[in-house]
Copies of this chain bind each other. A is one copy, B any other.
Amino acid sequence: MAITIIDVAKKAGVSPSTVSRVLSNHPRISPATAAKVREVLKELGYHPNIMAKSLVSKTTNTIGLILPKPAEELFLNLFFSEVIRGIVTQAARTGYDLMMTTGTTEREELEAVTRLVKGRRVDGVILLYSRQSDPLISFMLEHGFPFVLIGRSDEFPDILSVDNDNVQAAYDATRHLIAQGHKRIGFVSGPPNLIVSGDRMKGYLQALKDAGIEARPEWIVEGDFLQESGYRAMSFFMCLPERPTALVTIDDVVAFGVLRGLTELGYKVPDDLSLVGFNNISLSELSTPPISSMDIGIYQIGYTASQTLIRAVKGEAMPQKRVIIPHRLIVRESSLIQAKD
């Protein structure tokens, strides 16, 4: 049997409420009794029952992380670990715990969230990634439950969110390729229903446009965040009568896939095709050749999201609804050659 506040009260010869007060550093309590109580507290090895505390205080000191339905693919990506690392580090630092759920189907997903939110199991949640017209966002809004989105929502631009300027980032990545002299630049995108895919696509197109280069639909393919996606894109591109000389990919892992396919077919990077990825995962610098990548500060995204959410649940004033984490291009060999024509 765990020891309760009452046990402590008895042993210290005071009332339970006094113990409670000591525990919460109530101002009006005599130093003498406080000391006495604290002593007994230590002696008995007391630890608060969080459930009981939550029941009355209506807070849990826990934040929830909702993994998007097709968590599978996310997990295969270093992005995921990095975000969590940021979240869990900051949360732990603030004395919060992290609760994770996911659902395989859309229904399961909503069920899991309902359990967390309506069951008052967490004080707020972090939504990872947003889809076009995400049902989860509407759900949170409807219930007036604190949350922050990692990503961006078209429908609800006014919610708390942490994101990159993905349009600008893709613009910059494409710009870099253009500066290297490339005129035929392709783009391997992610799932079209994800906002981030759209944003990066937009930046890519804008960069072409600003440089007076015409976009070619056949040089744009959509996939997921997996290597197969890159592999498929690569074989598609290389069979084209007129192929791109450079590629921007939605993720480094996709770039890996492209690279592998290219190598198998005997093509050389960057000589035959230049490559710029996104996310700057640790393995990008280890490939042969190392892959240029847009670093989007993933860890910081997680860290900031957690920080923002915790501030929000504590009712602190939010300086800004939308926090943008800066990006920066890491140029490596895969794009370090001037286009030949």
Q: Which residues does A use to contact B, with CB under 8 Å?
A: 2, 47-52, 54-55, 60, 62, 67, 71-72, 75-78, 80-82, 84-85, 88-89, 92-93, 97-104, 108, 112, 114-116, 118-121, 227, 253, 256-257, 259-260, 263, 282-283, 285-288, 290
Closest to A76 in B: B282
CB of A120 within 8 A of CB of B260, answer: no
Say yes or no: A114-B51 contact (C-beta < 8 A), given A88-B67, A88-B102: no
- Distance in Å from the Cβ of A314 to the closest Cβ of chain B? 18
Question: Would you mind naming 24 contact pairs between A and B with Cβ atoms under 8 Å apart?
Answer: A2-B118, A50-B115, A51-B51, A62-B99, A67-B88, A71-B85, A72-B85, A75-B82, A75-B84, A76-B78, A76-B81, A77-B81, A81-B81, A92-B101, A92-B102, A92-B103, A92-B108, A93-B104, A97-B112, A97-B115, A260-B286, A260-B288, A263-B288, A287-B287
Q: A121 to chain B: which residues have CB within 8 Å?
A: 50-51, 97
Closest to A226 in B: B282
CB of B49 within 8 A of CB of A51, answer: no
Q: A103 to chain B: which residues have CB within 8 Å?
A: 92
* Docked pose: A103 CA to B97 CA in angstroms: 11
- Distance in Å from the Cβ of A236 to the closest Cβ of chain B? 18
